Structure 1
Amino acid sequence: MVDPLRLAIAATPLAAYLLLLALVNVRRRPLLATGAGDAAALGGGLVGLAFIGPIELFRPESATAEMGPWVWVVLIVLYALIVSLAVLLARPRLVIYNIGLDELRPALAEAVGQLDREARWAGDNLTLPSLGVSLHVEAFEFMRHVSLKSSGDRQNLEGWRRLARALRRSLASVSVQPSPRWPSFAITAAVLTVLTLIALQRHPQRVAEAVAHLTHF
């Protein structure tokens, strides 16, 4: 039988992340997010799985004996620092949710035209020499979002910020249909939440035992 406490720890952040995706995809406006924001949200959604997986597996015995339950605070902060480091080291990226590639192209062309008249397209690759930005457009039709991924190591971060601001202004007038995926995200989030609440309510003794096990070796 699944440990109800560990189920709650794993499922609650994941359900919140899926609910966030549902809210984003039910909108009639595209949503632009930075790669850092996208990765941070995913890291937050997976924190529970990390908690009951690698974090618990590699929990130091000596630190647990010394700090007791406070060791989990230290480990969660360490996880947050690892996610933050990964975000900082990642190449620049923009993610536009709830939009198809054909719908994005006119808004992207408008933003690029405002920023750099020397911009050059080569297939799905775009170079903006005046901004110091080169990127590849990658569409994920199943999830209905598009990523603008940096191509090459030499990127101007301020140029990416200017591109993000211009593209956000262009997208403000774009109206789209809600993504057909949003009910799946919402239903999955609801199922995880209900299962978690039922498990916690039906097995209080197992929850108490799990708490004791997590705070002691």
Structure 2
Amino acid sequence: MDPLRFAIAAVPLGSYLLLLGLLNLRTRPVLVTGAADLATLGMALTGLIFVGPIALFRPDAATVELGDFVWLFLLAFYWLWVTLAAMLCRPRLVVYNLSAEELRPVLSEAVRKLDGSGRWAGESLVLPQIGVNCHLDTFAWMRNTSLIASGGRQDLAGWRRLGRSVERALRGVAIRPNPRGWLLLGAGVALVAAAMLRLTADPRAVAVSWGQLFAF
């Protein structure tokens, strides 16, 4: 892959790995919504999509009519799909750098204040008063835990209340950094550094690639 295309693909992905590494090296857990988590992943993959499917399936007729602006429309089209996926995905809360065993007592305390009739059944949690039915799913290798909706009937307002309550409860939780965060941090730095080095090492190749990419 030429230096320009490599940089376009690697820099967003490397930045995403840097962000994940920093989140996992914190001494406080971080809560995000599933939609925000998916949108961030979509942003990380933007460069790969740009030099891959978008460049491969770029319509010739639109290219002739729009010139360089065709890239903006194609990227906007991709981001519309990412936005649609984020809007249609099941409600989900993601807690970075906290195992299910560590999250469960914090979650139970937050739930007690929201819905006194809430009950656990294994890894599943039912909160009838706020219309939330969910289960815990953990990614043990990265020590991240997700609270995922179970079933189709969910109250989005109840999920927002649950998210705010869990976020408040997590403020008092101190944890040890996840050592695997260093791996993510190192991989992110390596990708971004490699992209910058390749760009500066051969400016002529970058200029040629620019002309090939944007010359219609």
Instruction: Give the structure-2-normalised TM-score.
Output: 0.97
Structure 2 letter corresponding to 1:187: G
Q: Quick check: 1:208 aligned with 2:203?
A: no
Q: For each residue in 1:79-99, what CA deviation from the matched residue of structure 2 results, as whole angstroms up to 9, or x when unmatched? A: 111100000111100000011
The residue type paired with residue 27 of structure 2 is R
1:171 matched residue in structure 2: 170
Matched, 1:195 2:197: no
Kept after mapping to 1: 8 A contact 2:15/2:192: no
1:150 paired residue number:
149
Q: Are 1:60 and 2:40 matched, yes or no?
A: no
Alignment deviations for residues 54-106 of structure 1 (CA, whole Å, 9 cap, x no partner): 11111111111222211111111111111000001111000000111111111
Does 2:30 match 1:42? no
Identify which range, 128-137 or 199-208, moves more after superposition.
Answer: 199-208
In 2: Cα distance, 1:127 partner to 1:40 partner: 27
**1:71: which partner in 2?**
70
In 1, Cα distance between the equivalents of 2:194 and 2:133?
46
> Contact conserved, 1:10 with 1:49, CA < 8 A, in 2?
yes
Measured in 2, the distance between the counterparts of 1:191 and 1:19 equals: 10
SS at match of 2:26: coil
Looking at structure 2, the residues matched to 134 and 23 of structure 1 have their Cα atoms a distance apart, in angstroms, of: 31
Deviations 1:96-134 (A, max 9, x none): 001111111110000111111111211101110001000
**Native 8 Å contact 1:18 1:185 kept in 2:** yes
Provide the C-alpha distance between the structure 1 equivalents of 2:111 and 2:103, rounded to a whole number of angstroms: 12
Distance 2:94 2:215 in 1: 42
Assess if the C-alpha contact under 8 Å between 1:30 and 1:176 holds in 2: yes
1:121 aligns with 2:120: yes
Aligned-pair CA distance for 1:194: 1.5
User: Which residue number in structure 2 is paired with residue 9 of structure 1?
Assistant: 8
Cα distance in 1 for residues equivalent to 2:82 and 2:117: 36
Cα separation, 2, equivalents of 1:165 and 1:78: 32
2:29 alignment partner AA: P
SS of 2:129's equivalent? coil
Amino acid at match of 2:83: S
Which runs of at least 4 in structure 1 moved beyond 2 Å after TM superposition? Answer: none
- Between Structure 1 and Structure 2, how many residues are aligned? 216
Partner of 2:137: 138
- The AA in structure 2 aligned to 1:170 is A
Q: Is the 8 A contact 2:39 2:83 kept in 1?
A: yes
Q: How large is the Cα RMSD of the aligned pairs?
A: 0.9
Q: Which amino acid aligns with 1:37?
A: A
Moved more, 196-205 or 149-158: 196-205
8 Å CA contact 2:117–2:127 kept in 1: the answer is yes
- Unaligned runs of 5+ residues in structure 1 are none
Deviations 1:131-176 (A, max 9, x none): 1000010111101100000000000000000100111111110000
Give the superposition deviation at 1:14: 0.5
